[in-house]
Amino acid sequence: MPETLQSLARAFPDVRTSDDAADRVAYARDLWPRHHLAVRAGNVGAHQPAGIVWPTSTDEVSRIVRWAHDTVTPVVPFGAGSGVCAGVLPHEQIIVMDLKRMSRWRSLDERARTLDVEAGQMGLPLEEDLNRRGYTLGHFPSSILCSTVGGWVAARSAGQCSGMYGKIEDMVLALECVTGTGEIVNLRHRTSGPNLIPIVTGSEGTLAIVTSATLRLHPKPVARAFAGFSFPTTEHGWEAMRAMFQAGLRPAVSRLYDPFDAMLARRGSVKKGGADSGGTPGLGAAALRSILRRPGAINELLDGAFGSKMLGGSLVVLIFEGEGDAPQRDMDQARALLETMRAQYEGEGPARKWLLHRYSVSYRQAPVFAAGLFSDTMEVAAPWSKLRALYDGVRRALGEHVFVMAHLSHAYPDGCCIYFSFAGTAAKGAGVARGAGWDERCEMTYDRAWKAAMAAAIEAGGTLAHHHGVGRSKAPRMAHELGAGGVDTVRALMRAFDPKGILNPGNLLPPASPEPYTDDAHPTAVSA
C-alpha cells in the first residue's frame, strides 16, 4: 500500500479505501478522448493515484480534507468519470475521492418544488424517481446514464432540454461544500449582495468539494408536441432559431443540425456491429482512414451549396412540452414563424426519432477508435452577432486536420452554443517524427486540430467551453479568454477557498509553465 494511502487508512479506519491495482487504473482518468489513444496503444495506467477513498457523509469528507490539508495531500473529487476534458488526471501522491456513496435525498419540499440531494446521486435514477413523484429536474445531459449531480455542478453542465429548463446553474438554489481547509460551508442563492453559488458552480473541483445541492423542480410534463423542419443552409436554420427564442418561444428541445449531421440525425439509430479492431487498424476501415487523411476537400464539398442540397439541407428538431394543449399551441406558433423563414415542415418523425435515440450517440465512439481513427467534440458559444464568425472560424480551423460536422443544441435570446463533432486519423507529411507509431501520429493530428480550433474560437469572440468544462485540455488557452486579470482573479479565489492548493491541482487554469497537453500515450513529448 502506498505510504499516502496507509496514512489515510490509519487516520480513518472506518472509511473504505483501496489501493488495489484495478481500482487505481479505473480511477486514473476520465473519458477525455485523447486518453482513448493511450488505451489503444496499450498504456492504461500512466496516471494512477495513490488510492481511492469512498466517504459516506459530509462529515467524513470534511475530516478527510482536513487531514489532506494538514498533510498537504492533493485530493481529486470524482463523480462517475464521464468528463471529456481531462478533469481527472492523478499521480502517485493523489487521493481520489469517489462521492457515489453519498447519494441520499435529504429533503423533498413539494410545496416549494425543491430537492436537497447529495452529490453522488446518479442522473438517470434521480430523474426516474422524480418522475414517479410527478416531477422532473429537466436536466438531461447525454451522459445522464453515467454522471452525477456533483459532476453536473462542477462542470456547469447543460442538458438536452435547456431551452425550457436552463442549464444546471439555473436549477441550483443552494450548495453544501467542503473547502480546501475542510470547512463545511452552505451557500444560498442570494438576490442581493455577493452570491457565491455561481463561483463554485463550474469550478471543476478546484475551489471546494460539492457534497449536496438543493435543486429547483418542475411538474412532470404530460403533453408534448413534435416537429422537424428542413432549411436550405445551416445559417438559415440558426436565424430561425434566433427569431424563435427572441419571440419568447421556449421549446424544451431545439436542435439544429448541419447537412451532414442532419443526414445522421434523420437515420436516428446506432447500427450494430462496428469496424474491425485489433493491435493495428483493420483492413475493413482502411478506405475511411485514407479519406480522413485528406479531410479538407471533403469538408469543403459537404459544407457548400452542392453538399447541402445533396444531403437534404440542415434540420431543426423541436419538442415543446407541458400541460394540456399548450405544447401544441407553442408548436403551431413556432411553425408559422419558421415557415416565413424558408422552413420546410417534415412532420413529427425527426423529433420523435431523436427522442427515441437521444442517448445513443454516447455509444458511437468505440468503433471509431477501434478502426484506427479518433473522434471528439468541441462546444463553444457566442452572441448571435458573432455566431457566423465562430462557426466559420472553428469549422475552417478543424477542417484542415479532421472531418467536421456541427449542430446547435442550446439556444438563448442573446446567443447560441455550437457543438462541433469531428473525426480524424494519423498525421502524415512534414512534422511527423521518424518512427512514430500509429497512435502517436493520431495524437499529432488531434493536438493540431484542437489548438487551431481553440485559437479560432477566441479570435471569433467565442467561448472555449459551454457545458463540458475546461479540465486540462482547454486550460492552456484560458488566459486568452479570461485575460491576465481574469486568471489572477480565479487564482485568488482558489487561494481563498483552498490555501494549500490541494483540490484537483493542475485543473481549470494554465500551469505556470503550460504545455499544450499532458502526454498520456507515449513516454516522449509529441510536437504538434
Domain boundary among 219, 241, 269: 219
CA distance 226 to 480: 41
Q: Residue 431 pLDDT more than 90? A: no
Q: Is there a domain that residue 506 lies in?
A: no
Per-residue pLDDT band for 249 (boundaries 50, 70, 90) equals: very high
Residue 188 neighbours by CB distance under 10 Å: 11
3-class secondary-structure state, position 142: coil
Q: 285 with 376, same domain?
A: yes
- Residue 1's pLDDT is 64
Q: Which residue segment(s) compose the domain that 82 sits in? A: 3-98
Work out the average pLDDT over 91-101: 96
Q: What is the pLDDT of residues 355-382, one digit of tens each?
A: 998 887 656 788 889 889 999 999 999 9
- Residue 527's pLDDT is 36
Contacts of residue 433, Cβ cutoff 8 Å, sequence gap at least 6: 440, 527
Percent of the chain with pLDDT over 90: 76
Per-residue pLDDT band for 153 (boundaries 50, 70, 90) equals: very high
Work out the average pLDDT over 199-207: 97
Verdict on whether the full-model pTM lies above 0.85: yes
Q: Is there a domain that residue 238 lies in?
A: yes
Q: 83 with 153, same domain?
A: no
Amino acid identity, position 384: W
Q: What is the largest CA-CA distance in the chain?
A: 70
Q: 142 with 284, same domain?
A: no
Q: Is there a domain that residue 477 lies in?
A: no
Q: With left for phi above 0 and alpha for psi between -120 and 50, is residue 113 left, alpha or beta?
A: left
Whichever domain contains 38, its CATH number is 3.30.43.10
- Residue 16's pLDDT is 96
Q: Residue 173 pLDDT more than 70? A: yes
Amino acid identity, position 178: V
Q: 125 with 57, same domain?
A: no
- Residue 512's pLDDT is 65
Domain boundary among 178, 193, 219: 219
Per-residue pLDDT band for 262 (boundaries 50, 70, 90) equals: confident
The length of the chain is 528
Whichever domain contains 284, its CATH number is 3.40.462.40
Q: The cell 468505440 sits on which residue?
A: 366
Span of 235-244, 309-318, 323-332, 468-477 with lowest mean pLDDT: 309-318
CA distance 24 to 50: 7
Q: Residue 513 pLDDT more than 90? A: no
- Residue 233's pLDDT is 93
Work out the average pLDDT over 315-339: 98
Per-residue pLDDT band for 423 (boundaries 50, 70, 90) equals: very high
Q: 10 with 62, same domain?
A: yes
Span of 156-160, 185-189, 275-279, 458-462 with lowest mean pLDDT: 275-279
Q: Residue 194 pLDDT more than 80? A: yes
Give the residue from 416, 415, 419, 414 showing the smallest Cα distance to 404: 419
CA distance 162 to 293: 36
Q: Is there a domain that residue 515 lies in?
A: no
Q: 58 with 152, same domain?
A: no
- Residue 263's pLDDT is 84
Q: Is there a domain that residue 277 lies in?
A: yes
- Residue 302's pLDDT is 76
Strand partners, 378: 420
Q: Mean pLDDT, the chain, as a whole number?
A: 90
Q: Residue 521 pLDDT more than 60? A: no
CA distance 527 to 276: 29
Strand partners, 319: 226, 253
- Residue 47's pLDDT is 86
Work out the average pLDDT over 207-216: 98
Work out the average pLDDT over 307-327: 90
Tally of domains within the chain:
3
Q: 127 with 94, same domain?
A: no
Per-residue pLDDT band for 199 (boundaries 50, 70, 90) equals: very high
CA distance 202 to 467: 9
Answer yes or no: are the C-beta atoms of 417 and 408 closer than 8 Å: yes
Nearest 5 degrees, angle CA 330-CA 333-CA 337? 140
Work out the average pLDDT over 139-158: 97
Q: 192 with 45, same domain?
A: no
- Residue 306's pLDDT is 62
Domain boundary among 187, 204, 219: 219
Nearest 5 degrees, angle CA 434-CA 440-CA 442? 115
Q: 208 with 344, same domain?
A: no
Q: 388 with 329, same domain?
A: yes
Work out the average pLDDT over 62-85: 97
Work out the average pLDDT over 44-63: 94
Whichever domain contains 208, its CATH number is 3.30.465.10
Q: Is there a domain that residue 502 lies in?
A: no
Q: What is the pLDDT of residues 264-288, one digit of tens each?
A: 777 655 444 444 333 444 444 666 7
Q: 262 with 385, same domain?
A: yes
CA 284 to each of CA 192, 291, 372, 438, 442: distance values in angstroms, whole numbers, following the listed order? 62, 13, 11, 16, 18
Amino acid identity, position 385: S
Q: Is there a domain that residue 514 lies in?
A: no
Q: 241 with 291, same domain?
A: yes
Q: Is there a domain that residue 383 lies in?
A: yes
- Residue 193's pLDDT is 81
Q: Residue 78 pLDDT more than 80? A: yes
